């Protein structure tokens, strides 16, 4: 019955479990074919489980796709918020390094986030952009960043440095591991923040 799942890491589930295989199969298929282009039957087949077992873990394909997005979205938000008490330079360096490392460690999950975040706008209310905007606002108030520019705009531009490179990689650009470029990303983010 099992079609092919070479990576048995879960997103919310323990590695190697049926739920982990379902999550990984869904990620792979959603990135390859789109959410609409995949059925629960094809996800179950790729995971090597019955469609009934998929429905024991997830109410629907929409529930599965939302769970995957919320998980990566929450990971990215925590990653940004974890550096709020650092100096601006240190926070930028650590956030860039951690974003790149997360993308490199699980490219399918990061690619899924890049491709489908727009389908889950409710998550934007408290996500990586909000966390980054709060960090910008804090540094503007402390006089470390120019205050004449919207924190949301600055945060979007700063996150865009890494995200646009990741998106280009997704589209086939020869970028390799994002972690290989953290020094360049860091310099670019600081230039965006300080020169806006």
pTM, 2 dp: 0.90
- pLDDT tens digits, one per residue of 58-94: 999 999 999 999 999 999 999 999 998 889 999 999 9
CATH code assigned to 1-58: 1.10.10.60
Domain boundaries, given as residue ranges, for the chain:
1-58, 68-195
- pLDDT tens digits, one per residue of 109-125: 999 999 999 898 888 78
Query: Residue 41 is encoded by which pair of tokens?
Result: 């039957």
- The CATH T-level fold of domain 68-195 is Tetracycline Repressor; domain 2 (1.10.357)
- pLDDT tens digits, one per residue of 151-187: 999 999 999 999 999 999 999 999 999 999 999 999 9
Cα dihedral angle (158, 164, 165, 167), rounded to 10 degrees? 150
């Amino acid at each position: 019955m099992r079609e092919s799942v070479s990576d048995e890491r879960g997103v919310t589930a323990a590695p190697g479990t049926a739920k982990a295989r379902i999550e990984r199969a869904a990620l792979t298929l959603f990135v390859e074919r789109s959410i609409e282009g995949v059925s629960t039957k094809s996800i179950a087949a790729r995971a090597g489980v019955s469609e009934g077992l998929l429905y024991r873990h997830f109410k629907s394909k929409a529930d599965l796709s939302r769970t995957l997005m919320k998980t990566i979205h929450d990971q990215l938000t925590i990653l940004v918020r974890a550096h709020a008490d650092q100096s601006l330079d240190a926070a930028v360096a650590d956030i860039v390094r951690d974003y790149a490392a997360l993308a490199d460690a699980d490219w399918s999950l990061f690619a899924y986030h890049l491709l489908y975040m727009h389908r889950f706008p409710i998550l934007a209310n408290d996500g990586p952009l909000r966390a980054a905007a709060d960090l910008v606002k804090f540094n503007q108030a402390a006089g470390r960043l120019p205050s004449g520019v919207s924190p949301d705009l600055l945060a979007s531009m700063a996150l865009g440095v890494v995200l646009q490179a990741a998106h280009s990689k997704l589209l086939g650009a020869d970028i390799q591991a994002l972690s290989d470029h953290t020094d360049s990303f860091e310099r670019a983010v600081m230039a965006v923040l300080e020169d806006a």
